[in-house]
Structure 1
């Protein structure tokens, strides 16, 4: 049975459709792995073991089982999205513990496709920061448990990287899929604006937030993206011609002035570009014309989105860093910083660059993720400095609303994964995943840290901390 824990979503779904294994067997194998490993990883806020097994049995009796793209595939859902019958805590003690009446539309699409939700994953409070810790737990990088999994989809990324689920649902408002994907050695796609239904928090952080996939392979990321985007199975199964030759720009210059990029991440971008050149694409070193005001614009939108999400919550139950962040967002609104159409202005500035180039390659991060520590107990300024210093490359593409994907490229000192980012034009999600697949073919990466965790002596979950049902 356990052989199916650690397989890809594509492999699992095919086996279930062909009735070589039952959904219950698959889900039970993954629940056993969660029980064995999550005590050291902290991916899950809650595990719904009995409900997941019952839902797996229901999938196995579906008349359309042979047509389901995610037949019997266990998935994890980020805990800022509604899951029917479960509370949505959004990483904070200030949220309600009442169960949701309906699934979020993305969760409904997963279930309609045959997936089984095994649990809700940890997030930082209100999904604000690029590390995942707080009152509901700390999510650690399975490749190096001394360090954060990243944020805010840190729990989802940790669950996939540990092999506890093959795929997970995250979302990304300033890099919240790509940052943990980079830390944890995954493929993490932030779709372009409008490609996948959003409905994240109170206003989608002014349209910057998108729901998207976290996976260990390009094929799994494509499968999950297609389901989330509502694409039909015939389109997904259609053979895709080799793209190219594409005009590829390589840039290791930080979008935010004054933020240095460490050598491993610069090398990762160069290595990704070299692999694309080897595949026949035309690579040129060229830097996007990022405006000097980018950091101010990003900060205003970042804090303003938090201010919206904090409305109606008891401030006394929020961490000090969150209260400060929301207060600055309200000040940004009063100052008029949120009324300017920054998306249109930034697109106008960057469109000529993307007229010359089809794809941009950058590092995903500027430096490795910080320690897994109680950042929620530390000051606002320290959190912002840490976030800015390690993740300056992700926010521009939330501001433009253009697609971007992180993929594993190379390793850091000590053996944890390093990462590069590919950015494309509107509607280029499948093209980006084609390029990820080509890089994966040329330079395969280690898919999960399961064996590493097992050798290190992973401990069972504490039943009192998981609200399992």
Structure 2
């Protein structure tokens, strides 16, 4: 680590605002670390070195640094939102190579807050699967380079866990912020619908996909979330924690994909600590409907079909082509025509009227090994995804906020463990408050020891 790599976004922004460090120095140190280590990790598809240094220099001349909540903070951006002047590849050789005319609204808000875009991170093709490898490279987990980083925001999570960037923009359509955040020991927040601009692909995966922050601390995640949401004057400060009714559930929403002993134990221990801190914790399971997996799969595949419609199918990986083909079929069925979001909300709202927050394992088992998953069959990929990440998709269908929060590491293999927190719409700050309690009660190492 150098003086400014490995620092939090809050620390960097405060130092830049006080003119204790020049934005160029912060950016230069992160670019040097990327040059030295990203060949092992594979977090970035494109590093925007010249653009980042120019932005840092322009920032240093501004007279309003004191008003910029992310002043001089380097940020990594997932390759599924436009960045002005850069191609939006979405992990695919079939996507256009023409540069984007303008930034996505989330990128614009980050820049307006003083953040400096370091580069664009790797994703699986069309952001479909929970492992990150494909045409534009593979991403490894900084905690164990033999393991993947999760997906589809795997490049963003690896960049943050490896201290290549203090924060990153992710997107979550089936767990794609929470899965890699959990795998890489990070805080990842999927906001509820309409809180942060989405505009992901052709349909936002029929309303399941949202943009959100990936960070090493709750304060950084809160600050970045508030910038992305455009809500008043952003602040990293946590509101006072009040006792909440928390439901602990280790039951998997997907039959046949139970939580492993280690991941279930992490959730139970987190519940125990929260109870000791004054929260009312009860073991209780949501009533997941039998049609849940089918309804989620219909939107997941049909969203991919819509995103692939204008692309040359010959350039898509076989697993992506099959996924899109299934989506075209399911789009003609009642699975997509029926308003399963309303039905799921109607079914689960009574549960959340009893409890303020649902606590579950973030994953069911460890993230898979770093392999060429993009070259393997569709069925193998889907089965693998459902086995290690069954806890995240219900909350995409419901469009309710959910977060992944680190909770230590496995004593045997050293891989991070994490829990998931879920709340009703508007509950993002509530989730961050509980996450802050866990951070205080059970601190985690913020970045992987890559050096």
Which residues of 2 match residues 49-60 of structure 1 at below 5 A? 49-60=49-60
SS in 2 for 1:91: coil
1-structure distance, mates of 2:430, 2:445:
23
1-structure distance, mates of 2:52, 2:419:
35
| Distance change >3 Å, CA 278–CA 100, structure 1 → 2 | same
SS in 1 for 2:138: coil
SS in 1 for 2:406: strand
Partner of residue 250, structure 1: 248
Cα pair 2:88 2:100 within 8 Å, conserved: yes
Give 1:2 deviation, angstroms: 2.4
2-structure distance, mates of 1:138, 1:51:
24
2-structure distance, mates of 1:250, 1:3:
41
Higher relative contact order (CA 8 A, sep 6+): 1
Partner of residue 27, structure 2: 27
2-structure distance, mates of 1:335, 1:222:
40
Deviations 1:394-416 (A, max 9, x none): 00000001000001113122111
SS in 1 for 2:201: coil
Give 1:278 deviation, angstroms: 1.5
Q: How many residues align?
A: 450
Cα pair 1:264 1:411 within 8 Å, conserved: no
Cα pair 1:86 1:100 within 8 Å, conserved: yes
2-structure distance, mates of 1:344, 1:260:
26
Partner of residue 355, structure 1: 353
Deviations 1:14-37 (A, max 9, x none): 000000001000000100111111
For residue 450 of structure 2, the aligned residue among 425, 430, 453 is 453
2-structure distance, mates of 1:116, 1:197:
19
Give 1:242 deviation, angstroms: 1.9
Gaps of 5+ in 2: none
1:134 has 2:144 as partner:
no
Gaps of 5+ in 1: 455-469
| Distance change >3 Å, CA 342–CA 104, structure 1 → 2 | same
Partner of residue 343, structure 1: 341
2-structure distance, mates of 1:382, 1:357:
37
2-structure distance, mates of 1:237, 1:362:
25
TM-score by length of 2: 0.98
Cα pair 1:159 1:165 within 8 Å, conserved: yes
2-structure distance, mates of 1:84, 1:42:
23
Give 1:237 deviation, angstroms: 6.4
1:261 has 2:256 as partner:
no
Partner of residue 271, structure 1: 269
Give 1:239 deviation, angstroms: 6.4
TM-score by length of 1: 0.95
SS in 2 for 1:19: coil
Which residues of 2 match residues 90-129 of structure 1 at below 5 A? 90-129=90-129
For residue 389 of structure 1, the aligned residue among 384, 387, 390 is 387
